[in-house]
C-alpha cells in the first residue's frame, strides 16, 4: 500500500473505468471522461489517494478525506475499488483498514459511507466486519443492471463513540 503517484494513473484508470462502467457498485457517471475521473479519484491534501500493489501490479485503490466541509469536516469518508482479477483476496479489507487507520491518525471522529449499494454484499459484509453499521437505507435509489432498483446504505463507524 503506497500513496498514488502520477505514473499509477493508467493502472488506476483501468480499475476505475471498469468499476464505473459496470454500474453495479458506484453511483458515478458511467460516461465520466478520463480527466473528470482523475480529478474525482485523485484527492488533494489533506485528502489522500493510495494504491494497493501485489507483484508490482496495481490491484486496488482507495481515496479518503473529509466527508463534508465546514461543520461536518470532522467526519471522514473513503471509497475503494479493487481490480476484477484481484477480488476475493483481501485487497478491499486491506484498503478499508488503511483508510480507517489514516482517518484515526488524522483526528477524524468517524468514517461515513454515503451510498453503499445493498446488493454489493461483499462490500457490505466487509464494512460490517470492520465495525461499520448501517445507519439507514434509501430504498430503490440505485438502478442496478441486473437487480433493478435497489437500496443505498448509509454506513458509519464512529471511532470513539461515547
Binding site for a copy of itself (CB under 8 A): 20, 23, 26-30, 32, 67-75, 109-110, 112, 114-115, 134-144, 149, 152, 154, 156, 158, 161
User: Which residue, 5 or 36, has its beta carbon nearer to a copy of itself?
Assistant: 36
How many Å separate Cα 107 from the centre of its chain? Answer: 19
d(C-alpha 4, C-alpha 49), whole Å: 6
Give, for 112, the enclosing helix (H) or strand (E). Answer: strand 110-117
Please give the DSSP secondary-structure letter assigned to residue 6.
Answer: G
Report in angstroms the alpha-carbon separations of 118 from 15, 80, 87, 93.
Answer: 21, 16, 18, 18
Least Å distance, CB 70 to a copy of itself, is: 5
User: Which residue, 128 or 143, has its beta carbon nearer to a copy of itself?
Assistant: 143
Least Å distance, CB 149 to a copy of itself, is: 8
Least Å distance, CB 109 to a copy of itself, is: 7
Least Å distance, CB 52 to a copy of itself, is: 24
User: Which residue, 91 or 117, has its beta carbon nearer to a copy of itself?
Assistant: 117
Give, for 60, the enclosing helix (H) or strand (E). Answer: strand 57-66
d(C-alpha 56, C-alpha 138), whole Å: 39
User: Which residue, 98 or 142, has its beta carbon nearer to a copy of itself?
Assistant: 142
Amino acid at each position: 500500500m503506497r500513496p498514488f503517484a502520477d505514473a499509477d494513473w493508467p493502472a488506476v484508470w483501468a480499475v476505475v473505468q471498469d468499476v464505473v462502467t459496470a454500474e453495479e457498485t458506484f453511483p458515478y457517471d458511467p460516461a465520466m471522461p478520463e480527466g473528470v475521473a482523475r480529478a474525482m479519484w485523485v484527492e488533494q491534501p489533506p485528502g489522500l489517494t493510495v494504491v494497493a500493489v501485489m507483484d508490482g501490479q496495481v490491484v486496488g485503490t482507495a481515496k479518503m478525506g473529509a466527508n463534508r466541509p465546514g461543520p461536518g469536516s470532522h467526519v471522514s469518508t473513503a471509497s475503494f475499488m479493487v481490480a476484477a482479477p484481484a477480488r476475493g483476496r483481501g485487497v478491499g479489507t486491506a484498503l478499508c483498514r488503511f483508510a480507517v487507520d489514516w482517518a484515526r491518525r488524522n483526528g477524524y471522529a468517524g468514517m461515513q459511507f454515503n451510498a453503499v449499494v445493498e446488493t454489493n454484499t461483499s462490500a457490505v459484509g466487509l464494512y460490517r466486519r470492520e465495525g461499520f453499521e448501517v445507519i439507514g437505507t434509501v430504498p430503490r435509489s440505485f438502478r442496478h443492471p441486473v437487480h433493478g432498483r435497489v437500496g443505498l446504505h448509509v454506513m458509519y463507524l464512529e471511532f470513539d463513540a461515547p
